Amino acid sequence: MTKGDAVLIKGSQSMRMEKVVKEVMAEPLRAADLLVRQEVVWTVR
């Protein structure tokens, strides 16, 4: 991936794809603002 690329990550909610997305984000510290299901209930599963 290079700057300016758009990446589509597809997966089910049960696979917790938000965790994968957070790992490849340009700004992972902004995950709480940019991603869904970042509440503690979801992130500790």
User: What pLDDT score does 38 carry?
Assistant: 77
15-24 pLDDT, tens digit each: 888 888 888 8
User: What pLDDT score does 19 carry?
Assistant: 84
- Sign for the pseudo-dihedral over CA of 29, 33, 38, 39: positive
This prediction has a pTM of: 0.61
Residues 6+ apart with CB under 8 A from 43: 19, 37
3-45 pLDDT, tens digit each: 888 888 888 877 888 888 888 888 889 988 888 877 777 777 7
